[in-house]
Amino acid sequence: MPHLNTKEDLEIMGKQLLLDREKINKTIIMCGGTGCTASRSRDVIDALNKELVIQEMDNEVHVRVTGCHGFCEQGPIAVIEPGNIFYCHINPEDAHDIVTKTVKNGEIIERLLYTDPVSGEKVCKESEIPFYKAQDRKLLFQNREVNPQSIEDYIAIGGFTALAKALDTLAPEEIIREIKISGLRGRGGGGFPTWRKWMECHEAPVDEKYVICNADEGDPGAYMDRCVLEGNPYLVIEGMLIGAYAIGATRGYIYVRNEYPLAVRHARNAVQQARRYGLLGENILGSSFSFDIDVARGGGAFVCGESTALMASLEGKVGEPRPKDVHTVVDGLWHKPTTLNNVETWANVPSIILKGASWFNSKGTRGSKGTKILALTGRIKNTGLVEVAMGTTIRHIVYDIGGGATNGKAIKAVQTGGPSGGCLSVDKFDLPVDFDVLYEAGSMVGSGGMVVMDESSCMVDVAKYFLTFLQDESCGKCVPCRLGIDRMLEIVTDITEGRGTLEQLELLEDLADTVTQTALCGLGKTAANPVLSTLRYFREEYEAHIIDNKCPAGVCKALIEYYIDPEKCTGCGTCKQACIHNAITGEKKEVHVINTDLCQKCGICRSECKFEAIQVS
Amino acid sequence: MLYYVNININGADIKAPKGSSVLEVAIEYGICIPHLCHVPGLSDIGACRLCIVENITNGRATITTSCTLKVQEGMIIRTNTDRIKRLRHNIAELLVAEAPNSRAIQDIAVRCGVKEVRYPFRNGDCVLCGRCVRACSEIWHANALGFIGRGKERHVERPLNMREEYCKGCDYCLQLCPMTVPPCDGPMKPGEEYLCGKCESQLMITEDIPESCVWCRLGEGFNCGRYAGLKTVR
C-alpha cells in the first residue's frame, strides 16, 4: 500500500484506480447497510458471489457492497449497472436468476421489480422510482458509489481531492470564508452557522485544539448520521481533515454510539486505512499539517449527543452537560478549544471546498442552504431516508416522496425534529424545511426525523410518548428538566386517563414554558416542544379528553370503549375466537356483543374483523 | 493583586473582583438571589436553577444561572424582573412539591413567593442538589458519595453501593444537606398543598418579595451564601 506523500501521488493513484474500475463494466450494487443487513442482504451477497464463481463470471462482474441507499423498507435492494435496473426484496434464491438472466443477458426479472404503491405500476429503473426521483440526493448518492470498507473506492471517485486542494491552495481563513459564503449550518439540530464555530475556534490563542464528529444519534426513528458514517466514512474523515486544517486542530474524535456496530466498524476501518495511506498522521500529503482521528464509542445515553455531555463522556467522566456560559469553541474538550459538528455537517464540507460555495448555496432558502437528509417514517406509503434541498415544502416530502397516506386515512400531522421538535398540523404543510421557519412554527428541523401521523394517532398520546422518552433520557442534573418533565408527564397521563382538568392544561403550558427557558442544556430547553406544539395546533384534542372524556383518535384506553356495530356484524365468530379475554359472546350467524367489563381494549378483535363491525367510541 | 471589572446589577454599578461569579458578587453586595445548590467554596454546577438571572447583551435578555456566570466588564444583570420571578417561582414550586417536609426547601419556596402548590406532594427525601457530593469530593477528596443513575433513577450513593471505607466521617455532607434541617410540623400533606409561612414572620410582613437581602431567617434554613460567608468570617 503506497504512502501518499504529495498531491500528485493522490491524483495518480485516483486515475489508476478509476481505470481499474472502468475495466469491469458490469456491477451489481448491493446495499449492505444496517436496514438491508437486517433483511438478510449478507446472504444475498454471498449467494451472488457464489453464483458468479459457478458461472465463471467473477472476473467481469463486480459486486459492490455499499452503505444505505435510503429505501430501507424495500430491502434488500440491488441496482445493476449498466442499465440502472432496480431490484427489491431479494432473496438468496434469486441470485441464480439475477446472474443468469439480468447480468448475462440483460433480461428483466419481473417479480423483483419495485411496484409503485401510488400508481400500482412496476418500475424498472432506479432513476424512475418516484421516491428517488422527487429527491435531490447529493450526499446519499455517493453511498452507492463507494464500498465503505475500501478507501480505494473513495479515492477512485475523486475522494480526498478537496483535502488536497485545501492544503495546497487555500489558507485556513480562506476555507472558513468559503464555508461562510456557502451558508452551511449545523445539521445536528441547532442550525448554528458552521463558519462561526470554526472562526472562533481558529482565533482562540491556544496551540492544542480538537475537532469532534458527533455521531451519537439518538432520536427515535432517525438514522441519517448512521447512514452517512456507515456508508461513506471517508467523506466524514475528509470533512474533519479540512475543518481541522482550517481551525488548526491536531486531533479529532468520532464519537459514535455503540448501538451502531456497523458504523463503529466502518469508521475504525476507515481511520486505519487513511493512516496507512498517510492521509492521517504526520505531514499529510507533504504539507506541514498533521492530524489524527480516534473513534470513541458512546455509552448509550441520549444526552451524550449534547456537546458538553459528549465532551465529558470523551474525557471519561459521567456524560452530563455543563453550563455553556463559555462556549466549547473556547473551553471544550479538556478545556481546549473544540469544534464539534454533526456527521452530516462534516460530510458537506468536502464538496463545498471542491465545487465552491456558490455550488452549495445555489440550493436552499435565504437562511438555510444546501440539502438535508430526513428520516421519513410513519403512516405513509414510502418510508426511508430522503435527501431534499432546503426549502422543499413538507407537502412535497409527505405526498410526492412519501406517496401519501396508507389505508386511505387522512394525514393529520407531521412530527419533525425528534423529541426536541414538535408536531405540525396539516395546514402547515406548505412550510418549507428551513431552520428558521420551522423554529418559528414551534417545531424544528432538528437532526431530520420526520414522522407522519394520520387520524389514528392521538396527539396527547404522542406528547406522552415523547415525554416518556425524555424522562428516561434526561440526565437528571437540573431541576426543570428532571422534575419538570416528570410533572408534565404526570399531567399528560392524567389527561389521557380521564382525570384531567382545564386548570391542569394551563399549568402544563406554564410549566412547559418554565422548562424551555430555564433548563441547563439543549435537551432540556427543547424537551417541552412536543407538549407546546401539540397544545398549539391540537388544543381541541386535549380539550376533548378533558371536557368530553373522549379520545377522538380512539387511542387512549381509559377513554374508549369497543362495541360491535349490529348492522355490520355477520356473526362469523372470528372476533370471539380471537379475544383472549373471553369478552365477546354471541351465537354463530347472530350479532355478537362485547362485555365491557371483561374487555381489556387490546384491539385484537378490531384488527381481526373483516367487516369493520368493531367500532371504538 | 485583585483586578476589578464594572458590572451593573439591577441598576447598581458594582466593582466586582475578576473571576468571581455574578451570584457571589450579588451576595457580597446584599442583592438577594435565592439559591440552593451553590455553597461558598464549592464548585458551581448550575443544577437547581433557582439563581437564574437575566443577562442583557445587545438589548437581548438571556436567562442563565448566576452561579456559573463569571463577571465580565460591562455586564448588565437583572435579578428580579417579572419574568425571572415567575420562572423562579415555578422552579421552587417543583422543588417543594418534591420535598415538602424539608424546612430548607419550604424556606426557599416561601422566599420565591410560592404559597399554593399546584402539584401533588411527593414527600421525597432528596432533591439532588449535589451539595454533599461536591463537598465530599472537593473538600476532603474522599469521593465517598456520588450520583448514580440518570433521570428519574438518579440518586446519591456510595461508590458501587458498597465502599463505605471511603467515608472519612467528617459529617460535612450532613451539615450541608437541606433535608437535615428539622422539618416543621406544618400542613405538608398530600391534598393540603399550600405553605403556611407562619414561621417566617420577618418576610411575611410584606407581601412583596424583597430585592435586597433583609437578613431574613430563611437564609439560615437553606444555608444562604451570605450566612455561610458570615460563618467563615467568624
Of residues B213 and A392, which shows the higher confidence score? A392
Residue B183 has pLDDT above 90, yes or no: no
Whether A214 and A321 map to the same domain: the answer is yes
Whether A244 and A388 map to the same domain: the answer is no
Mean pLDDT, range A464-487, rounded to an integer: 92
Whether A294 and A222 map to the same domain: the answer is yes
Helix spans in A406-501 (H):
435-440, 459-473, 479-496
The whole-model pTM stands at 0.90
Residue of A301, A325, A487 lying closest to B94 (CB–CB):
A487
Residue B203 has pLDDT above 60, yes or no: no
Cα gap B21→A157, rounded to integer Å:
54
Lowest mean pLDDT of A21-25, A162-166, B131-135, name the range.
A21-25
Look at chain B and report how many structural domains it folds into. Answer: 2
Whether A504 and A421 map to the same domain: the answer is no
Domain-embedded: residue B56: yes
Whether A447 and A463 map to the same domain: the answer is no
Return the CATH number at A479. Answer: 1.20.1440.230
Residue of A303, A325, A472 lying closest to B64 (CB–CB):
A325
Flag if B154 and A484 touch (Cβ within 8 Å): no
User: In this structure, what C-alpha cell is assigned to residue A268?
Assistant: 475504525
pLDDT, tens only, A2-60: 788 888 888 899 899 888 888 888 899 999 989 899 999 999 999 999 999 998 888 88
pLDDT, tens only, A63-78: 999 999 989 888 899 9
Return the CATH number at A290. Answer: 3.40.50.11540
The residue out of A338, A361, A384 marking a domain boundary is A361
A519 contacts on B by Cβ (under 8 Å): 49
pLDDT, tens only, A408-430: 788 999 999 888 888 999 999 99
A490 contacts on B by Cβ (under 8 Å): 119-120
Report whether B47 contacts A524 (CB < 8 A): no
Chain mean position to CA A428? 22
Report whether B217 contacts B32 (CB < 8 A): no
Flag if B153 and A325 touch (Cβ within 8 Å): no
A486 contacts on B by Cβ (under 8 Å): 152
Mean pLDDT, range A118-143, rounded to an integer: 88
Flag if A486 and B46 touch (Cβ within 8 Å): no
Whether B139 and B204 map to the same domain: the answer is no
- Angle in degrees, CA A248, A253, A254, rounded to 5: 130
Whether A170 and A111 map to the same domain: the answer is no
Domain-embedded: residue B228: no
pLDDT, tens only, A324-359: 888 888 889 999 999 999 999 999 999 999 999 999
B95 contacts on A by Cβ (under 8 Å): 479, 483
What range defines the domain where residue B194 resides? 4-121+181-222
Mean pLDDT, range B147-160, rounded to an integer: 85
Measure in Å the smallest separation between the Cα of B198 and chain A Cα atoms.
26
**pLDDT computed for residue B233 by the predictor:** 39
Return the CATH number at B55. Answer: 3.10.20.740
Whether B154 and B72 map to the same domain: the answer is no
Whether B42 and B79 map to the same domain: the answer is yes
Gyration radius of chain A over CA positions = 27
Q: Which residue is listed with cell 438491508?
A: A36
Domain-embedded: residue A2: no
B150 contacts on A by Cβ (under 8 Å): 301, 303, 473-476
pLDDT, tens only, A576-589: 888 888 888 888 88
- For residue A198, the one-letter residue type is W
Nearest to A528 by CA among A485, A492, A588, A474: A485
Which residues of A67-199 form beta strands (DSSP E)? 78-81, 85-87, 114-115, 122-123
Residue of B48, B63, B69 lying closest to A517 (CB–CB):
B63
Band of the pLDDT at A617, cuts 50, 70, 90? confident
Whether B97 and B197 map to the same domain: the answer is yes
Domain-embedded: residue B64: yes
Whether B48 and B158 map to the same domain: the answer is no
Residue B234 has pLDDT above 60, yes or no: no
Residue A212 has pLDDT above 90, yes or no: yes
Look at chain A and report how many structural domains it folds into. Answer: 5
Flag if B151 and A322 touch (Cβ within 8 Å): no
Determine the longest span between alpha carbons in chain A, in angstroms: 87
User: In this structure, what C-alpha cell is assigned to residue A590?
Assistant: 347472530
What range defines the domain where residue A33 resides? 21-127
Q: Does residue A509 sit at the B interface (CB-CB below 8 Å)?
A: no
Return the CATH number at A587. Answer: 3.30.70.20
Return the CATH number at A387. Answer: 3.10.20.600
Whether B168 and B194 map to the same domain: the answer is no
